[in-house]
Amino acid sequence: MDTILYFCYSFIYIILFITGMLFIRQDRSFLSSSSFLLLITFGLIVDNLIIASGKFIGDGPLLEMLNASRFWSHGFITPTLILFGWGMAKRVHIPFSEKNIASYFFFFLTVGLIIYEFIINMHKTFVPVYKYGVLRYVSMESSGPPLMVLIVTFTLLVISLNIYVRTRWIWMLLGVLVMIVGSAIPIPLESSAVTNAFELIFLCLLWLTNYKLDPHFPQKENSLEIQGKSVK
């Protein structure tokens, strides 16, 4: 069952990735909010495909290498969600996001977390685990949410709260809350893939937010009100 779910997640992420390519054409900068979200989506495609294919590849050096690449890509890609959040904050003109020091803060926070994950991953040992029909390698050192994930989640929570207060756009905030609840509350089901549904919902709501707040797309009747002004 889990194998099927992971393949399904991969398929949905592929659809999101293809759809997201349309957003890239609308952004004038390569290092745009859409680009970072596209990078995250690509990482999740690879991540879920590797997990889903584990039992077909079989235990051995190849599967271990592929799973190790999951951890490395996670460490390099996930922190860029901070830059995506900062981009959303700038789109709705949240005051702190438009200060010069904010660009340095979010940039160095992202780089710092990537370097931290690089150092952590260098010392990880991977062991094979077969559970719920899925074969993959996991880190022996894993115990609870990584520090990087906690910092990224907290940053997005603060940003999404500010976006809601300023625009009444609640979906990014709900996405972050869904991710927090899904990670914190154990689900009494014999499946490790079900919890990844929260991650999928989270990413879909980020893409929805990216579209809604994108100044290149006409909002017309769906325009957001920001302190008496509409985002169009």
Contacts of 95 (CB under 8 A, 6+ apart): none
| pTM for this entry | 0.86
Number of structural domains, the chain? 1
Confidence band of 228 (pLDDT split at 50, 70, 90): very low
Res. 6: pLDDT tops 70: yes
3 state SS for 40-106 = HHHHHHHHHHHHHHHHHHCCCHHHHHHHHHHHHHHHHHHHHHHHHHHHHHHHCCCHHHHCHHHHHHH
CB atoms within 10 A of CB 203: 20
Confidence band of 232 (pLDDT split at 50, 70, 90): very low
Tell me the average pLDDT across 143-161: 88
Res. 115: pLDDT tops 80: yes
173 by Cβ neighbours in 10 Å (0-12 / 13-18 / 19+) ranks as: buried
| Range(s) of the domain holding residue 43 | 2-216
Residues 21, 30, 86: CA angle, nearest 5 degrees: 95
Instruction: Give tens-digit pLDDT for 46-68.
Output: 999 999 888 888 888 899 899 88
The amino acid at residue 74 is H
CATH number for the domain that contains residue 41: 1.20.1070
Is 228 part of any domain?
A: no
- Comparing 37-41, 144-148, 195-199, the range with the smallest average pLDDT is 144-148
- Conformation bin of residue 133: beta by default, left when phi > 0, alpha when psi is -120 to 50: left
Confidence band of 222 (pLDDT split at 50, 70, 90): very low
Is 187 part of any domain?
A: yes
Q: Which alpha helices (DSSP H) does the chain contain, by range?
A: 2-26, 33-57, 61-77, 81-91, 100-122, 147-167, 171-184, 196-212
Is 103 part of any domain?
A: yes
Is 225 part of any domain?
A: no
Which is nearest to 69 in space by CA: 48, 47, 87?
Answer: 47
Count Cα atoms within 13 angstroms, Cβ side, for 130: 7
- Residue 223 has what DSSP assignment? P
Query: Are residues 200 and 12 in contact, defined by beta-carbon separation less than 8 angstroms?
Result: yes
Predicted local distance difference test score (pLDDT) of residue 113: 94
